[in-house]
């Protein structure tokens, strides 16, 4: 029951995240903290304090890794390629998916973003190297997909 309720709440929070990021171009800290707190609570309820600690450490490691990638990209390109809200969301998502689920999460996010960009291009919107698309909604889709597969499927 905990898994179903927590996943339903994650779906609701992901919808709010997508709406805010599309409309305002940001992912609020309170939303990232809520997603992280919900994931941490789920981990502790299901697996106890050691599972919660492991989930928190994986989330922190994932967040630190993407923060470093963000900095390196900016150093070489002198433009931000990934927003700080996205980095914080990936840290929160890491609590849910762990390091094992991260490749699937990022792959699903990248493929859905690429499909969306293709549809936008076909619809006549010119996309250039300077175009910006909110990535948060696609990361949320990746997290929901990964979480669903981890809970109800057999991979990750």
pLDDT digits (tens, 9 = 90+) for 108-155: 999 999 999 888 888 877 776 666 788 999 999 999 999 999 987 765
Report the percent of the chain where pLDDT is more than 90.
75
Q: Which residues contact 104 (CB under 8 A, 6 or more apart)?
A: 97, 142, 145, 146, 149, 155, 156
CA distance 11 to 154: 20
Eight-class DSSP state of 123: T
Give the residue carrying structure tokens 């707190």: 37
CA dihedral (109, 113, 116, 118) positive or negative = negative
Q: Are 103 and 150 in contact (CB under 8 A)?
A: no
Q: For the whole model, what pTM was predicted? A: 0.90
Please state the rounded mean pLDDT for residues 65-76: 93
**Where are the strands (E) in 10-154, listed by range?**
none
């Amino acid at each position: 029951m905990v898994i179903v309720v927590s996943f339903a709440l994650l779906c609701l929070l992901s919808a709010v995240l997508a709406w805010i990021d599309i409309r305002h171009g940001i992912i609020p800290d309170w939303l990232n903290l809520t997603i992280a707190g919900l994931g941490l609570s789920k981990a502790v309820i299901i697996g106890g304090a050691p599972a919660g600690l492991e989930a928190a450490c994986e989330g922190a490691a994932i967040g630190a890794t993407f923060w470093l990638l963000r900095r390196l990209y900016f150093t070489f390109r002198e433009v931000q390629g990934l927003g700080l809200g996205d980095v914080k969301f990936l840290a929160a998502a890491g609590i849910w998916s762990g390091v094992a689920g991260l490749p699937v999460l990022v792959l699903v996010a990248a493929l859905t973003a690429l499909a969306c960009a293709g549809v936008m291009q076909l619809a006549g919107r010119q996309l250039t190297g300077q175009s910006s698309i909110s990535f948060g909604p696609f990361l949320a889709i990746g997290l929901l997909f990964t979480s669903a597969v981890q809970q109800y499927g057999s991979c990750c």
